[in-house]
Amino acid sequence: MTKYVKTICPYCGCGCSIILHVKNGKIVRTSPAVNDSINKGTLCIKGMLAHEFVHSPERLKMPLIRENRSFKEATWDEALGMVAEKFHNIKEKYGGSAFGVLSSARATSEENYLISKFSRAVLATNNIDHCARL
C-alpha cells in the first residue's frame, strides 16, 4: 500500500508542492502536486529527485571531525565546540572581515534576522548575503 504525503520541496525558496510516495515507511518516489498555485503540476529535476537523499547510505547522521587526514564521528558538543574555537581563532588572527555568511531564502524572516545579528555581533562581519538570486 502506498501512502501519499503532500509537502514542500526542500531545495530552493520557491515553495513548490511535492507529493512523497511512501511504501513500507520509505519514500520511494516524488511527484508534483497537480493543483499547486506555485509549480502548477511541474517540478525541476531537483524536486523530482528530492526523495533520493533521505535513505541514502552516504547521508551524514552525526558530526564528523577531521583527525589525522581522516574523519571520526563526534558528538554535537564536540563538533560545535571545535567550530566555536576555530571561529574565535580566525577572528583573533584575521578579524571579522575574514568571515562571509550565506543565508537562505528558505529560512524564515526571524531566522534570517538571527543570522544577521550573529554575523554582526558575534563574528563582527558585514559580509552577509543570501541565495535568493540563484
57: in domain: no
User: Residue 23 and residue 120: Cα distance in Å, rounded?
Assistant: 46
Domain total for the chain?
Answer: 2
On the question of pLDDT at 130 being above 60, the answer is yes
Rounded average pLDDT over 41-63: 89
One domain, residues 35 and 71: no
58: in domain: no
Rounded average pLDDT over 48-59: 88
pLDDT of residue 133: 58
Ramachandran category for residue 37: left, alpha or beta (phi over 0 → left; psi -120 to 50 → alpha):
alpha
Q: Tell me how crowded residue 28 is: count the other CB atoms within 10 A of its CB.
A: 12
- pTM, whole model, 2 decimals? 0.67
109: in domain: yes
88: in domain: yes
User: Residue 130 and residue 134: Cα distance in Å, rounded?
Assistant: 9
One domain, residues 30 and 69: no
* Parent domain of 22: 2-48
In terms of C-beta density within 10 A (0-12 exposed, 13-18 middle, 19 or more buried), how is residue 69 classed? exposed
